[in-house]
Amino acid sequence: DARVTQTPRHKVTEMGQEVTMRCQPILGHNTVFWYRQTMMQGLELLAYFRNRAPLDDSGMPKDRFSAEMPDATLATLKIQPSEPRDSAVYFCASGNLQWGAGGYTFGSGTRLTVV
Amino acid sequence: QQPVQSPQAVILREGEDAVINCSSSKALYSVHWYRQKHGEAPVFLMILLKGGEQKGHDKISASFNEKKQQSSLYLTASQLSYSGTYFCGTEPGNQFYFGTGTSLTVIP
């Protein structure tokens, strides 16, 4: 089965360090988004791409977060500088809006701990 | 914009049925349903696109009302494997929003 690959699976970093998370969407999917999940806030949309163009990043703290899709096989989410409150599980998902019948496939997530 | 789900949590015994509702104050373009088990990623269950649509597989089905403001997920004869958090989702153009979530626990 095709799957969305996220790396790393786990990351522990010190406050102030840069963190980069990567996502390889399923080939042929034209929509990719990043979500953050915490116990307190639940699921929060961070960024939404279609055909590699960023369409919405209103949920993302712009001063420290950035999301890009340098090509169709890679999406990145960067945090610089990281803070303890960024500790969460970050999910990437991909799908194809035009196909209609299918939903989104999620990666296994990156569990980030900022100490 | 976030759809509201009810109930927030439900505990069932194996074999019992459950209904999870997803409501919005505005018409939804579509409704997705996902299940997330503890420590895992959400997994897609089904999508409904049209008002009045009903869809299902095995013992899990869903409906989308005519006004497209409410969807319900039906779990029949629940199994232990049904435990998890269920999210509806909607995609109003350039975003994707999850609902508030419903925690479902099936006990023997």
Q: Is A42 close to B101, i.e. CB distance below 8 A?
A: yes
For residue B42, the model assigns a pLDDT of: 94
Low-confidence ranges of chain B (pLDDT < 50): none
Residues 37-96 on A with a CB inside 8 Å of B are: 42-43, 45, 48, 50, 55-56, 58, 91, 93
CB contact set of B56 (below 8 Å; sequence gap of 6+):
B46, B62, B74
pLDDT tens for B46-71 read 999 888 888 887 799 999 998 888 99
Average pLDDT over residues A60-89: 95
| Better-predicted residue by pLDDT, A111 or A42 | A111
Instruction: Determine the Cα–Cα distance for residues A107 and A70; give it in Å rounded to an integer.
Output: 19
The rounded mean pLDDT for chain A is 92
For residue A2, the model assigns a pLDDT of: 85
> Dmax over Cα atoms in chain A, in whole Å?
43
**Eight-state DSSP code of residue A25:** P
For residue A101, the model assigns a pLDDT of: 59
- Tell me the sheet residues that pair with B9: B103
